[in-house]
Amino acid sequence: MPPPAPTVAASPTKARGRARRIASRHIGMALLLSAVMALGGVLLYLWPQVRLVGLNYRQSQLLAQRTQALQRQKELHVELGSLRQLRRIEDIAAQHLGLRTPQPNQVIYVRPGQPASR
């Protein structure tokens, strides 16, 4: 069996080197943590700004669609008014359906609650 190796106390130079390595690891971790926190802060600041730009863009799209819808509504009201004109309806009834205005003796007036008579 070989003789046990003599235990030698760490020299002061080795102890200082080890302490420097440990200190540099702590400094590296502190710098990394600081960088991560700074990046997180920047992202927390920028994310609402980016979201706001997107919402403003969407709002402008919706306003443009609303304007188009209101314009189309106005056009449809004008078209509805022209389609409801009595003269136009009478012309269609006479030309396409062969209808004509009834003679006075063909008209029967019925009051509410009164039975129809012929």
Note whether residue 109 is domain-resident: no
pLDDT at 117: 65
Residues of the chain with pLDDT under 50: none
Locate 20 and state its tokens.
Answer: 């420097």
Locate 72 and state its tokens.
Answer: 């189309």
Residue with tokens 């502190």: 30
Centroid of chain to Cα 98: 54
8 A C-beta contact, residue 116 and residue 110:
yes
pTM: 0.46
Q: Which residues contact 110 (CB under 8 A, 6 or more apart)?
A: 116
8 A C-beta contact, residue 22 and residue 14:
no
Q: Which domain holds residue 43?
A: 19-101
Q: What percent of the chain has pLDDT over 90?
A: 44
Note whether residue 6 is domain-resident: no
* Total tally of structural domains belonging to the chain: 1
SS3 29: helix
Note whether residue 112 is domain-resident: no
pLDDT at 6: 54
Using one digit for the tens of pLDDT, what is the confidence trace for 59-85? 999 999 999 999 999 999 999 998 889
